[in-house]
Amino acid sequence: MNQKLKIICIIGILNFVIFSSCFSLIGKADTDHEIGFTEGTELIWEITELDLESYRRIIGIDPNYELGDQIRMIIREIGTSTEAWILSVEFWDYKTDWGLSGETFNFYIGNDPEDYADYLFCLTPVEDYLEQAITFLPSEYYRTGLSIFKQGKSDTGIDYVWEKEFDPRGLLVVETYYDDESDQIIIRWEGQFRIIPLGLTFIGFTMFAIIAIIVISIKKKNLRIKII
């Protein structure tokens, strides 16, 4: 098989992958909302920012955690009922021994977006789920992309903003509290399990980069043969 034929075959295969991905994404958009992760999923959130002065002033107490502290959760079972998804999880709080068994309890996620209630998780497709959920929430809630925001007032009477950002699987990846007046971050938790979203633009760019690398490699090989 000559080099040109090889390139044509490779491009054909990559085009098939791209179109298959497109059809897959389009198909998912038409389905009902559902869980986007599996049993056995391990989740670790770490405190990546903590302003103690702002925390004490706005929240009114000292935190029982420190910068760099982590909590851990493992999804043990995923079940359903007529009204909700039921997640059985094992949980390790701050400063606990992960070598020991964690605390077990259940999360309930309403099947309908109107049942959204400040969950750690949401259903997929995430953007569609949140877009519908926001129409049923009080006026202090608003949404941008995969993030949902809530304006609140602390026990000390100071306004703050609470942001929850989800990934395409419906997992909470970042949770942040801001001082509403200064936009200063009071505290932020970040998931140590973030993934790169595989959108159509990302897939197309990746395929183009692979093709470019193959073509350049073949040209270099042909150039070496001519020199020899």
Q: Mean pLDDT of successive 10-residue segments in the chain (228 residues)?
A: 52 48 41 89 98 95 96 97 95 97 95 92 96 95 96 95 97 97 95 62 50 59 60
pLDDT at residue 193 in the model? 85
Domain check: are 205 and 186 in the same one? no
- Of 29, 66, 38, 41, the C-alpha closest to 51 is 66
Domain check: are 68 and 175 in the same one? yes
- This prediction's pTM: 0.71
- Number of domains into which the chain is organized: 2
Domain check: are 141 and 59 in the same one? yes
| Residue 76: inside a domain | yes
**Torsion, Cα of 173, 24, 88, 126 (10° steps):** 40
Instruction: Look up the domain containing 11 and give its range.
Output: 3-28+201-227
Residue 25: count of CB within 10 angstroms of its CB: 14
Domain check: are 89 and 48 in the same one? yes
Domain check: are 44 and 134 in the same one? yes
pLDDT at residue 211 in the model? 60
Q: Which CATH number goes with the domain that contains 47?
A: 2.40.360
Domain check: are 159 and 50 in the same one? yes
